[in-house]
Structure formats: structure tokens, C-alpha cells
Structure 1
Amino acid sequence: MARFRVRHVALCAVFVVFLYHALPRENGIPHLFYHAGGGGAPNAGTSELARYMNDPSHVPRIVATESSFSWNTVKLLKQPALTPKLPAPVTSRPRIQHHFKPDSPHVAAKQEQRRQAVLGVTKKAWAAYREHAWMKDALKPLSGQFVDQFSGWAATLVDSLDTLWIMGLRDEFYEAVEAVAAIDFGKSTSYTVNTFETNIRYLGGLIAAYDLSGHEVLRAKAVEVGDLLYAGFNTDNKMPVDMIQFERAKEGAGLVVEDGVVSASPGTITLEFSRLSQITGDSKYYAAVSHVMDLFYEHQNETKLPGMWPMMVSMRREDVVSGYQFTIGGNADSLYEYLPKAHALLGSADPSSKKYEVMSRTFMDTAMSNLFFHPMIPGDEDILISGNVDVLGTGPSLDPESEHLSCYIGGLYALGGRLLENEKYLDAGAKLARGCAYAYKSFPSGMMPERYNMVKCPGPDPKQSCTWDQSLWVTEREKRTQYKDHLPLGFTTAKDPRYILRPEAIESVFILWRITGQEEWRDTAWRMFEAVVKATDTEMANAAVEDVTVEGGGEKTDYMESFWIAETLKYYYLCFAHTDLVSLDEFVLNTEAHPLKLSKIQV
């Protein structure tokens, strides 16, 4: 972006000071001072940010192209209830982020070098997407081909918008906004549209980019996607469908809710729909999703593991209690993730939003008591791992299997600890985050597997540490020899040895850094970043790898998920950037790492 050109230096200085103190702020920094394009955002204190002013007169004038079908014209036969109304903005909440002091010059230089390294990887990946897969859903980083698995609406492009803004890549951002303006959400490359993925990647991505930049095109397109998803609530019982029959949804005659779905699907709409109501002033989105979450709230303590919900639920029968498998990992993860985050966004003053605080405390207590365990390891690291629980005739049984997807839970507990002012949650969150970091450093590639098993410490409380027992580890490992025979001490399987560019572990490391200010978390992030980039780098961008149990990660897979730029690289970048950037006191991040703005708070 062009800079202000002022003839008199003194006048410029006075004007800069005035702007810095007078203008509305974004992430704690005035709009005009917030990152210029080109080399990325500065990793410096606010005294230096004036050098990176944006000239608002040079923001491109981009007008949204109307899609071939207007989703707001659909007459819904089964109109969802229009109450409750959106709660009033939250006026105060507990402080989340650590009170940071400026780094010493030596430390600041080191972090700047790290930030630039992440920026370089991101620019390379984005350039490859732009050249080989522009307006397509995902890049194939080995062949230079592309795939359209999310309805053909340029998933990587939309998913990456806020990353481009956060990293100060303004030219790339506005080029992408111009492309987004032309996306036709009235057409789809698939017969059905995945509600969950469309919500977290497209709607979340558009809202976050709007919240950061204020560009009206992004708001307009977010409303289009929101109205498309709202048509998925056009059902007999007002529960959302898992897959929207695209052409039938346009008719408004009604959709049929699936009998069985993973609980994360209906449980992961709250943040995006609530924020859409906030930015449009239309409560219909909030009302629709509040009705869904009432079902989970009313039956939370009636399940086989009271306080949590089974992995599979039936929204058609409104049955969220019958299943026997419980996890905070895949298939259920973001159902739990969104509860404390909805509390942060909506507060508890309104009766309709109070449920999120109640559900948060209840599930967090239940998971701490039943799912977390201290693995038997040769060292003395104080870590926790999250497993799975089956509840059959003999009661709850803890299975010490975990997965990369579960690694978000450390950051969530830390966040919940601050929001709910509960130090036990924060302590558990730190141990869970260290558990995933331990898994990363344990494997020869420096990365953890998609899914793995460990030996849980014996005794009445599996969360207590124990003495290393080589013979017990060998016995447990030999029971599972089909899942690799060359494993680090303490691990008994690498059931799925891939690393597919996932963000959950670095997500927790980032949140622990921002909450505690402890330097160990930035060092952990850098160690992880170096290992991941070394293993996944291709001539074009980055690719998933097949086997983290071997040096270098084994063979590469010709696929780069949109969340590589949208989440993983964004979290690495934020670990090394200025801590005012996407402050946890000003934003809550959805499950795709899209920052949604919180109402003004007092801290």
C-alpha cells in the first residue's frame, strides 16, 4: 500500500501522534498503523508501527458480484424460531493475555528472525496456490494440480484471507478479496454442501477477514453464506442437516435431518452464527443455533458419562444421550471447543447465553476426571494426554489412545481457566499442551502421529505420575505390533503415522504463550516449526507426510489442506509476532483459527 506523503516532517510527526491516539483500534493498534503490505507486519512495539501506516485512500474499491441465486429470498416452509434475541454486548470479562513487557533487543531480534521464517514459508505456499490452484479448493503441492472437495468455492483462498491480513500481505489480501467478490454461492460443484466445513472455513473465514479489515465485500459474502447455511435449518424439528441438498434447499420446501451424525457437526455453528447476528443486527442466526444448543444443554447430565455427550448423536430424533463412546478428539472436538468460546463471545448476562458457561464448567470437570491420563514415560516431564472413554456395562473404561486432533484441548483448558477464573483448568491445560509437545519431540521426524497409544500410569488416579517400567512398556507394545515396531519409549502404537499439516498442537502452544508469557512456549513453537517445515517442504509449497516414525517423515502425499495457511502457519506466526496482534482479549478464534471480534472489554 502507498504511504502518506507529507511535505513537512514536523507536520507529519504531529499528525502521526494524533492518529495513533485518536483513531479506532484494531488488535490494540489503530487501523491506519496496522501493517503495511510487502514484507509482512512488523514485530515491534507500537512506537515503531507508525512506519507501517496504511493509506485508506488506496484501499481498492471492490464491489461484490451477486451470486446466481439469492439465498435470502428462500421462503422456508419450516421457519426456525426467531427468538431468543441476540444478547447485549459483553461489557467486561476477565483478562486473558499475560501482561507482556517489551523483549530485550537480543530476544526481539531472535523472534523477528523466526517471524520472518514463518512469513517466508507462507508466502511460498500462497504463491504456489495462486499460480497452480487459483480459485480452487486446494493445491496438490507435488504435481501442481488442484482438488475441489468443498463445493468449488476456493476454500484455500477464503480460508487464508485473515492470514494474509495478519501477516501484512496487503497486495495479496486485496487481490484475494477481489476474487472472493466474484464467487458464486448460487452454484456448487457438489450435489450436497457440508454444513460443518462450509461454516468453519467459508463463513468463519469471511467474518474474520471482515472483522480485521472492515471491507464491506467480505460482510456481504458472509451474509450470502450465512443465509445458505440458514436454509439448512429448514427442517421439521429445526435441527440443522449435516449435508445440505443444494438444489432442494433453494426450493424452501424443507430438508430431512440425518438420523446419525458426529456430535461436532451440529455443535460447531454457535460462534459463526452468533457473530453474524452481531455484525448484521439480525438475531435469526443466533436464535437458530441457540435452539440447537438448548438440546445439548438440557440433556448434558443424562448421558452415560454425565457432563459429556457421546461421539455420535441423532438430530432427527433429538437424541444426544444414547451413545457409549466419549472423546474430546475427532468427531466431537469442536462441540466442546465452542462452549468456553461462546461464553467469551456472548457472556452470561442473558438467560439464552448463560448455558455456555454452565456447559463449559460441566464438561471440563467431567473430562478432567475421566479422559486425561499421565503416560508412563522414562523421563520426569509433568504431562497429560487425553484419551477416550467407552461406557459399557462395567462403567467408564479409559482407552489410552490419543490423536493430533485432541491437541487443541490444552489451549482450550488454559483459555477456560482464564475465562472461568479456575486455576485447575489452566494447570491442566499447560500439562496437556506439554503432552503434545512431548509427542512431537519424541519421534525421529520431530512430529507426532495422527493417532497413537501410550501406556497410562497404573493406580487409582491415572493423572498421577509413575515410575518407568520397561517390561510393562514392552508387554503393551508387543500386544500391538501391527502398529509399528520402532517406536519411542512410552509409545505402544502409531496407528496412523501421518502428519497432514495439522494445527492443533501449535494452537495450544500459542495460547499457552499468550496466557502465561513463559518463554518455553516460544522455544517449543520454534522447535516444532523447524521440524514440520523440514519434513513437509516441496518445490512448490508443503505436503502431508506418511510416516513420522522415521527420520524426515517418509513419503509425501500430494495434498495441502487449506488449514495449512489458515491455521498452522498463522499460529506459528502469532507465536513470534507482537503480542498485541490478534490479542486473546480482543478476539476469539473459531475452530479454523479465524479470529472473531469480541465486544469491548474492561481489563
Structure 2
Amino acid sequence: MARPFRIRNIAVCAILIIFLYRFLPSADVVAPFHGHSHGGGPQPLAQYMNDASKIPHIVASKSSFAWNTVKFMYPPELTPKLPPPAPKRPRIQHIFKPESASVAAIQDKRRLEIRRVFGKSWASYKKQAWMKDALKPLSGQFVDQFSGWAATLVDSLDTLWIMGMRKEFYEAVEAVASIDFGKSTSSRVNTFETCIRYLGGLLAAYDLSGHEALKVKAIEVGDLLYSGFNTENRMPVDFIEFEDAKKGGGLYVEDTVVSASPGTITLEFTRLSQITGDSKYYAAVSKVMDTFYDHQNETKLPGMWPMYVSMRRQDVVTGYQFTIGGNADSLYEYLPKAHALLGSTSPSSAKYEAMARNFMDTAMKNLFFRPMIPGNEDILISGNCDVLESGEGELTPSLDPESEHLSCFIGGLYALGGRLFENDSYLKTGVKLARGCMYAYKSFPAGIMPERYNMVLCPSAENCKWDEERWVSERQKRKEWKEHLPKGFTTAKDPRYILRPEAIESVFVLWRITGQEEFREAAWDMFQAVANATDTSFANAAVLDVTIVDSKQEDYMESFWLAETLKYFYLVFTDPDLISLDEFVLNTEAHPFRLSKS
């Protein structure tokens, strides 16, 4: 008599398990903390499969030098104060419906394969290069190129958390807690790289886990970087003279830097102010961005800034080369993202929306082009624009149809801007730009786009039919052309793939924003091509030539392979609630910062 009852119980349990599996977050989906109001850190919240009693007690050791004790010769102003969080933000992500069991099984299989690849690289880093900046994936050696503070370890913290690798995460936290930011393997510290990799990595890992040791170390790095503002005009240096910075006598601002360097501090310093309640970081970077804001419409291409600027002279106007690619990319990336993080509740934060809209309108008119390709697909590629004086003294913009892998972030950024600013034109442009990079990936024999390349420019977006003779003619004009280039491409100026994340970044964002299956399928094709071409006995290595199959590799694997590229691939195949774009904004190193709520 008991048997039917037991069968019913088993059936009910089976149904319940299926329900929990499909509709409750899995171990690698849920972060056990939610955001907090202005001036505070995360607040603990019991979550599925996160046992607070198993979190190890780790205390951060103090570095050999306390950066918060430096007496500045030129102390930065302490205003404006950090504004309160935005009262309301528009919805960013697509509303996803539950998938069938068969579709979910496919995505889970893909997700686990990506995690396997990450796990292999991480295990090799831990065995061969632990506490070093990067693993060399062919020789198994290591390199310290970012001050020797274990860049790969810090950069990978949030990826470990996101992938549910809790044991490895807390092992890494224990190691990070011992890093001495008072010593450096180099005499000069790169402000940009230290900000996006170290400070960004620590802030994101703290936002996800709430572990206090990470906050302590983030403040140490933040104060180190803050010393770079101890200059006569309070503009940041590009490289911090490490020992001079400790003395507080003032640093010398370089005359010329790439515009991305001073333009890529906003998110990290703002989030540090939000977490600590100390406005000094926000105030310092706000002054820098005021310089860009005040002169945005005075350049040769109003709305954008030249590739090179002088923070010493506070000259962001002089120059004729304009791009959203390398040297300038994250300056533009941070404008809509700063708006997402801050909102527009005060004059100091309202400028980010204004700058974002202005640059996005300008780039649409002057940098993006439809390439001539055999299938006549309606895609966009981001080029470069030189603005030179004509014989009559007039300024004439000239579009150069050269693009690069670094530019591929722009599709995702336009899609994000389309949602943030409720602008359908931005979103449609973002879709076409993302498809442009997807097209470049599938066009080359390795299934991967090259680092830098040229295409044939269509006469106009409307007049764009394939012309074989014109393609041959345009190709032969280029000294870098090769016989085996795909049709539509006239060069592969730099045929390498160095494990960059920008293309999959946009594909991830477009998947999350549109829910269109084409982006998830493209992501899987891209991952298989990348994993196959870059695999080594230790991890994954840069590829020297994607224009051929089975290219030689280079003994090179930067930390962004683990911090960005594999993270973006992984997030495409997870529950969309994991790092929801309605709850996080990601810095240029793919580190998610939690959006504060009022």
C-alpha cells in the first residue's frame, strides 16, 4: 500500500527539482549581496547555495607604505561632492522567457565548456605563474609587466566568482590580501592599467562577494592612484613615478598622452567613492572630465576629441585624428556608462549624458561606414576620421575605412546608449556595428577577425552593391594586401589575434538587450574558433595570422583573456540574471560595478 504513495512522492520531488533547476539561480548565477544606498557597501542577503558559514575569515595585510599618509604639495579640490544615486533608470535588458529543457541543456553544455577552458588557464597560472602578472602560455614561464602585483590574479577574481568557482575564489582572495602595494617591480606605475585591472578588479570582486579584505585593498590602490593627481594643475599623470609619489612633492604631468588614459578613471573612482562614502576620488576625476566637457565642441570634429591630448596644457582640442579605436576607445566608452552609474541628479554628473549623446551623434555621422561585401549585408564598420584643412583653409573630414578589433566594443556601447537614452537610432546602429564584427570573424579562415584591417567603403549606405572589379582595384592599391584575403577586405594590416574581448563584448551586450538568437549562436561560433586556434598545453596563446588556418602562436596571454574574453563568452550562456545590465555596469576590463539604488 505504501508503494504508490512513494511513487507519487518521487514524482513530486522530480517536478520540484526540475522547477528549481530551471527557475531558481544556480550556484554560478547568484551573488549573495545586493546593492546599498549612497555612501555604503553591499548588504548581506541569504541566497540559494551560498553558505555564509563557509566564507573564510581573511584579513588584508597592510602594505609596506600607506598611500593615504602622503602629504600632497598640490592637494586636489574636494568638490564636487558625490551625488546621490539616480532615482530611476530605464530598463536595459530584454525580458527573457523560460527556455525549453532541450534548449537549456545545449546552453548549459556550452557554458560548461567555456568554464573548462577558463579552468585550464587558471590552473596553469596558479601552478606556473602564481602571484605574477601573467602566464606565458607556450613556455609556461611568467612575466611582470604591470608592477608585479599579480595582475592576472586580481583581474580574474570576479570571473572566478561568476563561474561559481568559490574554492578558487577564496584562495585568490587570501593571496590578494597579502599583496604589497608599497613595492613595485617597476619604477613607474601605469595609471590606466592599474586603474582598470587592479582597482576595477578589486571593486568588482567586492561588489559581488562583499569580502572586506577586497575593499581594504581597493582603497590602497585607489589612494596610490590618487597620488597621481598631486600635480600643479590637478590633472593626473600617465605614469606615476613610484618613489617620488611617496614623498608628496608633486608630480610632473606629461605633455602628450592618448586621450583614453585620462578619460578612463571615472567609473573606478566614482564606484570607490560610492563604496567608501569619501567624495575625494569622485571630485578628482570630475575635474578631469570637466576639461573634456568644456571643450567638446571646440575640436576640429565637434563632439569628439583628438586621439592625443595634453593634460599638462589642458588642451583636448589640438589634433586632427579622430577614432573610437585604440588610444581613444574607453574615453568614449565611459561616458554613457558613467551616466548609468551616476544618473543626472547634479550638474557634476549631468555632463556625462550630454557628452555621451554628443559624441554618439558625431561618430554616427563621421566614423561609421557600410562596407562593400559580396552578400550586400547591411552592416556597419567603425573607421577613422582625419580632419585636415583644404586648399581654401576649410576643415574637411576624411573617412579612412580602416578598423581594428579594439573598435568592436562600440556596437554594444551604442545598444546600451539606445536603452539608457531611449533612442532607437542608437540601438539600431549598435546592432549593425555588432553584426559588422561578427561578419569579420566568420570571413577569415581561422574564424577570427584580425587585429587591424581595411575594407572597401561604399559610396553610401543606400548605394552599396558588390563590385568585384572595384574590390580588386582597391586591394591592389594597398601595399599590405594579400592574395588570400576574403572578398571585401583590402588589407589585414595586423593579422594577429591577441585574445581580445571587444567583439564578444558587443555580442554579449546585444544578446542581453535584444534577446535575438543570432547573437548567442554567433558567440558560440566565435568561441569554438578562438578556443581551437589559441589552445596550448598550458592555456591559450595569441595567434600570429588569422588569414590562414593553423597559424603559429605567440607566447603571450594577457590577463584580459581571463578577466574579459572568457567572462563575456560565459555570460552569453548563463541565466540572464547573472550580472544583469539592469543591476551592473561593466568597466573597460569587464569588471561589473553594482548600480547603487536610492
For residue 586 of structure 1, what is the aligned residue in structure 2? 583
The question of 1:320 aligning with 2:321 is answered no
Task: State the Cα distance separating 1:564 from its structure 2 match.
Answer: 0.2
Task: State the Cα distance separating 1:506 from its structure 2 match.
Answer: 0.1
With over 3 angstroms needed to count, the CA separation of the structure-2 counterparts of 1:26 and 1:596, relative to structure 1, is farther
Residue deviations 1:518-552 (CA, integer Å, cap 9, x gap): 11110000000000000000011000000000013
For residue 595 of structure 2, what is the aligned residue in structure 1? 598
| Alpha-carbon contact 2:254-2:312 (below 8 Å) kept | yes
Partner Cα distance (2:292, 2:278) in 1: 24
What amino acid does structure 1 have at the position aligned with 2:233? N
- 1:261-410 matches, within 5 Å, as 261-394=257-390, 395-410=396-411
For residue 457 of structure 1, what is the aligned residue in structure 2? 458
| Alpha-carbon contact 2:70-2:247 (below 8 Å) kept | yes
| Alpha-carbon contact 1:586-1:600 (below 8 Å) kept | no
With over 3 angstroms needed to count, the CA separation of the structure-2 counterparts of 1:258 and 1:32, relative to structure 1, is closer
From 451, 468, 471, give the equivalent of 1:470: 468
| Alpha-carbon contact 2:33-2:208 (below 8 Å) kept | no
For residue 38 of structure 1, what is the aligned residue in structure 2? none
TM-score, normalized by length of structure 1?
Answer: 0.91
- 1:95-174 matches, within 5 Å, as 95-174=91-170
Partner Cα distance (1:538, 1:391) in 2: 44
Partner Cα distance (1:192, 1:542) in 2: 29
| Alpha-carbon contact 1:373-1:386 (below 8 Å) kept | yes
For residue 519 of structure 1, what is the aligned residue in structure 2? 517
The DSSP-based 3-state class of the residue aligned with 1:530 is: helix
261-270 or 472-481: bigger deviation: 472-481
Partner Cα distance (1:325, 1:90) in 2: 35
For residue 437 of structure 1, what is the aligned residue in structure 2? 438
What amino acid does structure 1 have at the position aligned with 2:546? V
Any stretches of 5+ residues in structure 1 without a counterpart?
1-15, 17-24, 34-48
For residue 495 of structure 1, what is the aligned residue in structure 2? 493
What amino acid does structure 1 have at the position aligned with 2:548? V
What amino acid does structure 1 have at the position aligned with 2:513? I
What amino acid does structure 2 have at the position aligned with 1:500? I
Partner Cα distance (2:482, 2:137) in 1: 28
The DSSP-based 3-state class of the residue aligned with 1:189 is: coil
What amino acid does structure 1 have at the position aligned with 2:476? E
The DSSP-based 3-state class of the residue aligned with 2:399 is: strand
Partner Cα distance (2:545, 2:349) in 1: 44
| CA RMSD in angstroms, aligned pairs only | 2.2
Partner Cα distance (1:354, 1:185) in 2: 34
For residue 573 of structure 2, what is the aligned residue in structure 1? 576
Task: State the Cα distance separating 1:31 from its structure 2 match.
Answer: 1.8
Residue deviations 1:238-272 (CA, integer Å, cap 9, x gap): 00000000000000000000000000000000000
| Alpha-carbon contact 1:82-1:287 (below 8 Å) kept | yes
Partner Cα distance (1:471, 1:463) in 2: 20
| Alpha-carbon contact 1:414-1:515 (below 8 Å) kept | yes
With over 3 angstroms needed to count, the CA separation of the structure-2 counterparts of 1:559 and 1:326, relative to structure 1, is same
The DSSP-based 3-state class of the residue aligned with 1:551 is: coil
Task: State the Cα distance separating 1:30 from its structure 2 match.
Answer: 6.8
| Alpha-carbon contact 2:480-2:492 (below 8 Å) kept | no
| Alpha-carbon contact 2:32-2:208 (below 8 Å) kept | no
Any stretches of 5+ residues in structure 2 without a counterpart?
1-16, 18-25, 35-45, 391-395
| Alpha-carbon contact 1:77-1:254 (below 8 Å) kept | yes
Partner Cα distance (1:203, 1:31) in 2: 21
What amino acid does structure 2 have at the position aligned with 1:81? E
| Alpha-carbon contact 2:28-2:164 (below 8 Å) kept | no
For residue 537 of structure 2, what is the aligned residue in structure 1? 539
Partner Cα distance (1:160, 1:384) in 2: 32
From 555, 558, 569, give the equivalent of 2:555: 558
Partner Cα distance (2:569, 2:159) in 1: 11
- 1:158-197 matches, within 5 Å, as 158-197=154-193
Partner Cα distance (1:318, 1:573) in 2: 41
Percent of aligned pairs with the same residue? 75
| Alpha-carbon contact 1:417-1:425 (below 8 Å) kept | yes
List, as ranges, runs of 4+ consecutive aligned residues in structure 1 with deviation greater than 6 Å. Answer: 25-28
The question of 1:206 aligning with 2:202 is answered yes
Partner Cα distance (1:455, 1:142) in 2: 37
Partner Cα distance (1:418, 1:280) in 2: 29
| Alpha-carbon contact 1:404-1:502 (below 8 Å) kept | yes
The DSSP-based 3-state class of the residue aligned with 2:156 is: helix
| Alpha-carbon contact 1:375-1:457 (below 8 Å) kept | yes
Residue deviations 1:177-199 (CA, integer Å, cap 9, x gap): 00000000000000100000000
Task: State the Cα distance separating 1:559 from its structure 2 match.
Answer: 1.0
TM-score, normalized by length of structure 2?
Answer: 0.92
What amino acid does structure 1 have at the position aligned with 2:144? D
| Alpha-carbon contact 1:375-1:465 (below 8 Å) kept | no
What amino acid does structure 2 have at the position aligned with 1:531? A
Task: State the Cα distance separating 1:596 from its structure 2 match.
Answer: 0.3
Task: State the Cα distance separating 1:106 from its structure 2 match.
Answer: 1.3
| Alpha-carbon contact 2:28-2:162 (below 8 Å) kept | no
What amino acid does structure 2 have at the position aligned with 1:422? N
Partner Cα distance (2:531, 2:478) in 1: 30
What amino acid does structure 1 have at the position aligned with 2:54? H
The DSSP-based 3-state class of the residue aligned with 1:526 is: helix
Partner Cα distance (1:185, 1:447) in 2: 38
Partner Cα distance (2:115, 2:514) in 1: 24
From 237, 247, 253, give the equivalent of 2:249: 253
